């Protein structure tokens, strides 16, 4: 019998596309390839009887072309504060297991990755404010990422949103600019790329309204 699970919290993502990220519109990525990071903070969640409240996780991805063409690499990192049952639950969720095929972002990204490296368990710090479009996230020894508002041509903070009523990751995301530095099997350093700030609310069937 399939496990009943649900996570509800916040996500900060950063990739090498321009601010709009053509992938969000099922178009080809800005640079031809797709590389990025995602941090997740679960404020309320469970995996069967296992509580996931307050835990964090994330992933680093890299594809040589558009995501749908596959051949990607994936590195999952999980909160070191999680106990054994929680670690197993977070790993299954982040690998798209115990979910309907292609129903959420984890399923799609894992399916499109030829190389999925062993998970890293580390201390994760997560700070994000959707309203101000700011974020500062750190997975110790793995990845550091931050976000801020887009600055318009007049020097003003420019606000933009992406709305995906049938999305596999979120319904509405605030858009900003981000930077990150990744260590390990997937090396990545971005100084000014697309960043998204969004609520994450998923279960085995996909995004929950």
CB environment 142-180: b (16+ within 10 A), e (fewer): bbbbbbbbbeeeeeeeeeeebeeeebbbbbebbbbbbbb
> How many residues does the structure list for the chain?
209
Q: Which of 188, 198, 192 is nearest to 60 (CA)?
A: 188
Q: How far apart are CA 94 and CA 56, in angstroms?
A: 11
**Predicted confidence (pLDDT) per residue in 117-176, tens digit:** 999 999 999 999 999 999 999 999 999 999 999 999 999 999 999 999 999 999 999 999
| Beta carbons of 27 and 13 less than 8 angstroms apart | no
Question: What domains, with CATH codes, occur in the chain?
Answer: 5-207 (2.40.400)
What confidence score (pLDDT) does residue 187 get? 87
Q: How far apart are CA 10 and CA 141, in angstroms?
A: 22
- Would you state the pLDDT for residue 2? 77
Cβ(75)–Cβ(184) below 8 Å: yes
Question: What pLDDT, in 10s, does the model give residues 64-105?
Answer: 999 999 999 999 999 999 999 999 999 999 999 999 999 999
Q: What is the dihedral of CA 191, 132, 27, 202, to 10 degrees?
A: 110
Supply the pLDDT for residue 1: 56
């Amino acid at each position: 019998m399939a496990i009943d699970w649900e996570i509800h919290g916040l996500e900060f993502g950063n990739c090498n596309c321009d601010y709009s990220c053509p992938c969000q519109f099922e178009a080809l990525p800005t640079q031809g390839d797709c590389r990025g990071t995602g941090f997740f903070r679960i404020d309320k969640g469970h995996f069967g009887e296992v509580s996931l409240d307050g835990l964090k996780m994330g992933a680093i991805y890299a594809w040589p072309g558009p995501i749908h063409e596959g051949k990607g690499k994936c590195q999952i990192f999980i909160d070191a504060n999680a106990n054994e049952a929680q670690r197993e639950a977070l790993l299954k969720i982040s690998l798209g297991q115990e979910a309907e095929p292609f129903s959420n972002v984890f399923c799609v990204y894992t399916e499109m990755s030829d190389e999925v490296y062993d998970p890293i368990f580390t201390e994760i710090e997560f700070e994000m404010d959707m309203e101000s479009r700011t974020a500062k996230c750190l997975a110790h020894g793995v990845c550091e990422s931050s976000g801020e508002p887009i600055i318009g041509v007049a020097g003003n903070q420019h606000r933009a949103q992406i709305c995906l009523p049938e999305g596999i990751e979120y319904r509405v995301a605030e858009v900003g600019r981000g930077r990150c530095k990744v260590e390990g099997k997937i090396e990545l350093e971005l100084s000014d790329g697309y960043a998204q700030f969004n609520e994450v609310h998923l279960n085995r069937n996909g995004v929950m309204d």
